[in-house]
Structure 1
Amino acid sequence: EVNKAIYAGADAYLMKEIGSNNLINTIFEVYSGRFILDGEVTKKVIGQLRKTPSQTMDQELLTPQELQILSLVAQGKTNREIAKTLKLTEKTIRNYVSNILNKLGLKNRTEATAYAIKNKLV
């Protein structure tokens, strides 16, 4: 959740137990341009960064549906075949593939296939 929030643009991530004074101070800090993570959250994020390759964080950006579509792309399926398999329209699949490429910083289906194989998604 923390990674998704940060990738989505969150400037702060706090635990629910934060007191009202700390919350107000945090709002002012963020307004001043600072990034704030709760101490426990910071420990978890740093621990994850130390043991997780960056590709895994990229994959966390993908929805389960996008991961499934990426796997099918890597298997050499066409948009039409994927659409038929998942009971979606071809246009929807094109949109999904475009989103996947954008999220992972890839240029085309070939790069997506290489990415999926490298990261054992196939």
Structure 2
Amino acid sequence: MSAADLVALVAVGFAAGVASGMLGVGGGVLFVPGLVAFLDKTQLAAEATSLLAVTVVAAVGAWRQHGYGNVRLRDGILIGLLSPIGVVAGTELANALSDRALALSFAALQLYFAWRLARRVLAPASRES
């Protein structure tokens, strides 16, 4: 691994950590594009690497947020219990798709959630009756 690659990995990791703690993103929101853009990884390799890295980020983030009383344990447990089924199916699908199709799917998902969030935040405040 080159020094430039090491610096890029550290920068992506730090930026994803800050975003995870501040915004609650799972890390993959920055890990995947960072690995593709700055380290020339394939989409599939970036997503697979992100799955490993995000486990550490999520554990530390949940622990810190729990200290502030922000973690909804029941919701987190339900999501966590059901996610492995989806991960198995998604992993099979990811390995069956081309890198281009996978990257476009990732981008489309990011754009969809960005649109939904922007729409919610920019909507006029509802009046309470």
Do Structure 1 and Structure 2 share a fold, with TM-score over 0.5?
no
Q: Which has the higher helix share?
A: 2
Q: Normalising TM by the smaller chain, what interval?
A: under 0.3
**TM-score of the aligned structures, taking structure 1 as reference length:** 0.25
Structure number with higher relative contact order (C-alpha < 8 Å, ≥ 6 residues apart): 1
